[in-house]
Amino acid sequence: MEAEQTPSGRKFTFPSAFTVLFLVTIAVWLLAFIIPTGTYDQKDGAPVPGSYHHVDAGLSFMDRLMELFIAPINGLYGVENLDTGFIGPYETGELFGAAGVFMFVIAIGIFITMCMRTGAIDAGIARVAKRYSTRGPVLIIALMVLFSIGGTTEGMAEETLGFYALVVPLVLSLGYDRMVAAGTILVGAGVGVLCSTVNPFATGVASDAAGISIGEGIGLRFLMYIVLVPISIVFVLRYARRVKADPARSRTGPQPGDDEIAAAGIGDVADITTKQKIVLAIVGFTFAFMIFAIVPWAQVINGPNADSYAWQLDWYFPELAALFLAMSIVVGLIGGLGEKGLTDTLVRGAADFVGVGLIIVMARGITVIMNNSQITDTVLHSMENAVSDTSNGVFGALMFFVNIPLAFLVPSTSGHAALAMPIMAPLADFASVPRAIVVTAFQSASGLVNLITPTSAVVMGGLALAKVRYDQYLRFIAPLLGVLFVLCTAFLAIGAAV
């Protein structure tokens, strides 16, 4: 599908997440001049339904101009005054800025980059591919499960682009077409992200913005994972079997040179080394330990008001950031990168993920403008009546529907989370629904949209590497999107109701 042409003949390019958030920042700042100011009474950190009342923000034009100027700084390390609720870098109180999440994103970015640098992840997937290279269905299942695990734990997205050179010739050699290769990677990782359990860039950022632990709601998210991932695998397998039985039913058709690629296969694959096996074990241990550290075990087992067990860690972003930084160094040492290789990879990993961190900071800055202008509660009040009269099940589905257009507007998962959650999470309080339902609704909507959005480098870059046209991919995945939409709606409605 060709991009829309402008009169000058240049292709239209959808603006980046940074540009979108900058425009939203300006729009929110201007709207703060005309939206009535008000606030809710608070009880236990949550707004009290029906207590909204008008107040005077007391900001001059120059004050508001400074709010716009300093918004990104407040988004990073603004402090909320416990007496007045005002947020600024020189206030005394609790940190409101996203410094903790920012450092966590950088730390896990370093960890992922370090693991990739050792070659362990590439080697592991290559060995799986080689081992099952004569059993097509088993291979597709194995690869999609691996990609989905990467998606649900660490938001595997751009990292998948390096695997097309391996998967495309492999599936062609098995008698499938290029759409099977694209589906194996894009659907495998994408549905994993949709069902994120502890994905720091979706679940983590959204949970922080919602004021809850990343472990809250993990039960529902895991249930979605074990249901939706197998359904997605069956969907790709059905298409693969149909194409192998009748190549004329392929949505892509053969490409020049495909016969030669199929004959060559993936060639020889080097044995995975002992060091790489140890690195893979460390990766598994690190994510498993993170899950153990963040899950509020006593509260899950005995109810939300239960005291934590003595062995319960109750870790949050500062401890998790330290964990991934420490394990990055362990991986680098075991992987034999040496002092220079380790430090260079550490810096490159931080550089690769600082963009994600800055998007989170910009989105948090918008929240600060709304808070200091005292229009956040006004927006909440305008939505209170809409959700307070709905059943819990309807509320869960409604949150999913609302987040779908937002996911198109803000293609960055982290930016979408940091922007929407401060507004949407308190709505759960009005509807007497756990805030974790709102987090799950957001990430489900974002994951669904990011399976097809043309603004995603993961989608468009992956299709380009697989040599599959975008319109062909849309026709292929449309039935699965419908199934995922219905099932996500049902999971969220039932989850909110119970």
pLDDT of residue 473: 94
> What is d(CA 381, CA 49) in angstroms, rounded to the nearest whole number?
9
pLDDT of residue 159: 79
Q: Please provide residue 88's backbone torsions phi and psi, each rounded to the nearest 5 degrees.
A: -165, 165
pLDDT of residue 2: 41
pTM value is 0.80
The SS3 assignment for 457 reads helix
pLDDT of residue 304: 65
pLDDT of residue 121: 86
Q: Please provide residue 479's backbone torsions phi and psi, each rounded to the nearest 5 degrees.
A: -60, -40
Which residues of the chain have a pLDDT value below 50? 1-7
Q: Do residues 419 and 366 touch, judged by C-beta distance below 8 A?
A: yes
- CA atoms 388, 392, 396, 398: torsion sign: negative
pLDDT of residue 3: 42
97-100 long-range CB contacts below 8 Å, 24 or more apart? 97/361, 97/364, 97/368, 98/208, 98/357, 98/360, 98/361, 98/364, 98/418, 100/208, 100/316, 100/317, 100/318, 100/321
